[in-house]
């Protein structure tokens, strides 16, 4: 029997059909555990007895909801602007130092990003609270006479959220700086352009696409933030995500939760597609002709350049201070949080290891990760491999679907899964949370593998097939070994994402199956105990170890 031969110009080529069969499983997985729960939650917003649009009308007519929407926009815009301003000097510093130093700075930027959000938030509370480290230092230096309220208000929210989201802007900006042509900058300087003119005419216009790309991610993420405003803000900083949680857990008003989720989702997707359209237009107009990258051969700095270097170093201190500060505080003998530590003691580590609730929560997190990481790794890899063999509009739609869990606010997915999985009894153990975390971790694996596939030559596959190798042999002996560093990195990112998740854990677990992140959140919400510093150190060490293992594995394979 002859094999089926498709016309050479057929839209459904053999490669396309092969890719379609590979992406079928991850597509069905997201359809069942992502698209359907979100759609069911949104549909609840139209189920009010007073009318299908009654809940949505209440969103814009009830003062508390209207103010929460405005507050959410204000915080998201402020965090975006602040993140871009802080990212510029760091990106400039990375672009104008040696490659080895740039890599070290990049690791320093990534370390806070991949460290637990709860750990970072807890550290900031220790630094900024009324009798925290910052107020103690300022009062001892006689710069202030009374403690300043840096936290539980707008300043606390902006500091905490900017610290988390700023790395999203640094790396696109760094790429934009490296794409600048040094000859262009030198020509402008020879014609008499000063620092302000260079910024206005060259640096800002040519790095705007990078800043816009990062700002878009920051803005979308900020719209759906939950943990940082809940822990570092006050009643005046209540955001929409907090109201969604309140309506579900306290009011049992699913209609309002669905309506608020619909409003938040529309705002997030509108920001995503609007910025994406603007960015694509700008990139099409831009022609990259950098004969000499900006950082290449840079010798000497102007006064403004040294000012940017100093600002970049200050921002790096801002990024790393909350992580570094918990190490000495975790070995303090004082029963209250003080800096510098009074005495040396491992009392808090002993208390951490002797209390069964912490050990139990840690092993619960591992059990959930053992479900989430393999599922996310396999499905994300299949999605990337299959999509690489597809072209056209349908492929673009699927790519958007695989990235969408990163765009949709986690609170919407958490409430949607809670509504869908509770009748099935999957919110009392590990499977519901594990599958939910696989949904939010899968995009990290997909993007990591997809980036490697773009540099992978398919000539190796074609050569193997021409020698008689079947599809499974090609996958097992050529494609997967070449992708293994990316798959391992994606799995590590999936593990960190699973281990750090709080929002899904709050809705999809009970007290017996609560994870370490949920236990930390509950303790920080009540009171910041010195035991938290020991937990924070262990989480930081675990995260750092995983990141270094990923880098060493990639270096060895390359």
Same domain, 280 and 384: no
DSSP 423: G
3-state helix, strand, coil in the chain (%, to 5): 75, 0, 25
pLDDT of residue 438: 94
- Tell the burial category of 18 from Cβ atoms under 10 Å away from its Cβ (0-12, 13-18, 19+): middle
Task: State the residue for tokens 């190798």.
Answer: 469
pLDDT of residue 106: 85
Same domain, 320 and 410: no
Boundary-marking domain end, from 296, 329, 362: 329
Token output for 426: 């999957």
Same domain, 310 and 361: no
Token output for 165: 């989201």
Taking 50 as the threshold, does the pLDDT of residue 550 lie above it?
yes
Same domain, 409 and 436: yes
Is residue 557 in some structural domain? Answer: yes
Is residue 12 in some structural domain? Answer: no
Same domain, 292 and 366: no
Same domain, 325 and 409: no
What pTM was computed for the model?
Answer: 0.81
Taking 50 as the threshold, does the pLDDT of residue 384 lie above it?
yes
Per-residue pLDDT averaged across 112-133, rounded? 79
- Tell me the residue range of the domain where 260 lies: 42-329
- The pLDDT mean for the chain works out to 80
Dihedral sign for Cα atoms in the order 72, 74, 76, 82: negative
Same domain, 249 and 351: no
Is residue 117 in some structural domain? Answer: yes
d(CA 315, CA 114): 17
DSSP calls for 457-501: -THHHHHHHHTT--HHHHIIIIIHHHHHHHHHHHHHHHHHHHHH-
Boundary-marking domain end, from 303, 329, 355: 329
pLDDT tens digits, residue range 61-77? 888 888 988 999 899 99
Same domain, 324 and 352: no
- Tell the burial category of 330 from Cβ atoms under 10 Å away from its Cβ (0-12, 13-18, 19+): buried
Boundary-marking domain end, from 279, 305, 329: 329
Closest CA to 223 of 174, 267, 270: 267
Name beta bridge partners: 344: 332
Closest CA to 63 of 238, 209, 186: 238
Count other Cβ atoms within 10 Å, centred on residue 2. Answer: 4
pLDDT tens digits, residue range 332-348? 777 776 666 777 778 88
pLDDT tens digits, residue range 459-494? 666 676 666 666 667 676 777 777 788 888 888 888
Is residue 247 in some structural domain? Answer: yes
3-state secondary structure of 56: helix
pLDDT of residue 287: 45
pLDDT of residue 462: 67
Is residue 11 in some structural domain? Answer: no
Q: How wide is the angle at C-alpha 442 spanned by C-alphas 436 and 447, nearest 5°?
A: 155
pLDDT tens digits, residue range 306-328? 888 889 899 999 888 888 888 88
Is residue 340 in some structural domain? Answer: no
pLDDT of residue 192: 72
pLDDT of residue 28: 93
d(CA 80, CA 166): 8
Label residue 279 by pLDDT band (50, 70, 90): low
Cβ pair 167, 109 in contact under 8 A:
yes
Same domain, 112 and 182: yes
d(CA 78, CA 245): 23
Same domain, 83 and 129: yes
pLDDT tens digits, residue range 183-217? 777 777 777 777 777 777 778 888 888 888 888 88
Same domain, 136 and 173: yes
Per-residue pLDDT averaged across 167-175, rounded? 87
Tell me, what CATH number does 99's domain have? Answer: 1.10.3720.10
Name beta bridge partners: 293: 181
Number of domains the chain contains: 2
d(CA 256, CA 441): 28
Same domain, 422 and 467: yes
d(CA 239, CA 69): 7
Phi, psi dihedral angles at 500 (to 5 degrees): -90, -15
């Amino acid at each position: 029997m002859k094999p089926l031969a498709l016309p050479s110009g057929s839209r459904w080529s053999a490669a396309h059909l092969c890719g379609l069969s590979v992406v079928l499983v991850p597509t069905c997985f997201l359809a069942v555990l992502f698209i359907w729960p979100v759609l069911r939650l949104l549909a609840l917003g139209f189920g009010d007895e007073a009318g299908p649009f009654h809940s949505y009308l209440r969103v814009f007519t009830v003062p508390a909801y209207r103010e929460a929407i405005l507050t959410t926009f204000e915080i998201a815009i402020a965090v975006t602007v602040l993140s871009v301003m802080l990212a510029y000097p760091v990106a400039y510093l990375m672009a104008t130092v040696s490659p080895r130093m740039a890599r070290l700075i990049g690791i320093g930027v990534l370390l806070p990003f991949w460290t637990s959000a709860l750990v970072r938030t807890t550290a900031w509370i220790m630094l900024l609270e009324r009798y925290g480290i910052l107020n103690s230092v300022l009062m001892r230096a006689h710069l202030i006479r009374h403690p300043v309220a840096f936290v539980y208000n707008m300043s606390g929210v902006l500091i905490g959220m900017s610290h988390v989201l700023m790395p999203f802007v640094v790396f696109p900006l760094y790429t934009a700086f490296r794409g600048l042509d040094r000859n262009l900058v030198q020509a402008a300087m020879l014609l008499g352009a000063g620092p302000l003119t260079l910024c206005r005419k060259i640096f800002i216009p040519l790095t705007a696409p990078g800043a816009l790309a990062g700002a878009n991610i920051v803005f979308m993420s900020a719209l759906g933030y939950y943990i940082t405003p809940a822990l570092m803000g006050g009643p005046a900083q209540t955001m929409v995500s907090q109201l969604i949680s309140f309506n579900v857990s306290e009011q049992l008003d699913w209609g309002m939760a669905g309506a608020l989720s619909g409003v938040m989702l529309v705002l997030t997707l509108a920001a995503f597609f609007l910025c994406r359209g603007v960015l694509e237009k700008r990139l099409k107009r831009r022609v990259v002709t950098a004969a000499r990258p900006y950082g290449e051969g840079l010798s000497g700095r102007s006064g403004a350049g040294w000012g940017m270097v100093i600002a970049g170093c200050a921002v790096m201190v801002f990024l790393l201070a909350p992580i570094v500060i918990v190490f000495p505080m975790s070995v303090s003998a004082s029963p209250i949080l003080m800096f510098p530590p009074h005495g040396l003691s491992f009392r808090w580590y002993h208390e951490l290891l002797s209390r069964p609730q912490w050990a139990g929560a840690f092993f619960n997190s591992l059990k959930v990760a053992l479900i989430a990481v393999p599922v996310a790794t396999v499905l994300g890899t299949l999605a990337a491999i299959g999509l690489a063999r597809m072209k056209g509009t349908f492929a673009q739609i699927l790519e958007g679907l695989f990235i969408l869990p990163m765009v949709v606010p986690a609170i919407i997915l958490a409430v949607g899964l809670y509504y869908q999985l509770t009748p099935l009894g999957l919110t009392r153990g590990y499977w519901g949370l594990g599958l939910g975390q696989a949904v939010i971790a899968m995009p990290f694996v997909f993007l990591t593998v997809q980036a490697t596939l773009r540099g992978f030559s398919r000539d190796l596959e074609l050569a193997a097939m021409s020698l008689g190798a079947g599809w499974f042999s090609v996958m097992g002996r050529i494609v997967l070994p070449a992708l293994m560093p990316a798959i391992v990195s994606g799995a590590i990112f999936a593990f960190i994402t699973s281990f750090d998740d709080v929002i899904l854990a709050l809705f999809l677990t009970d007290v017996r199956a609560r994870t370490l992140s949920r236990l930390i959140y509950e303790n920080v919400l009540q009171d910041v105990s010195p035991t938290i510093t020991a937990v924070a150190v262990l989480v930081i060490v675990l995260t750092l170890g995983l990141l270094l293992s990923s880098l060493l594995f990639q270096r060895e394979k390359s």
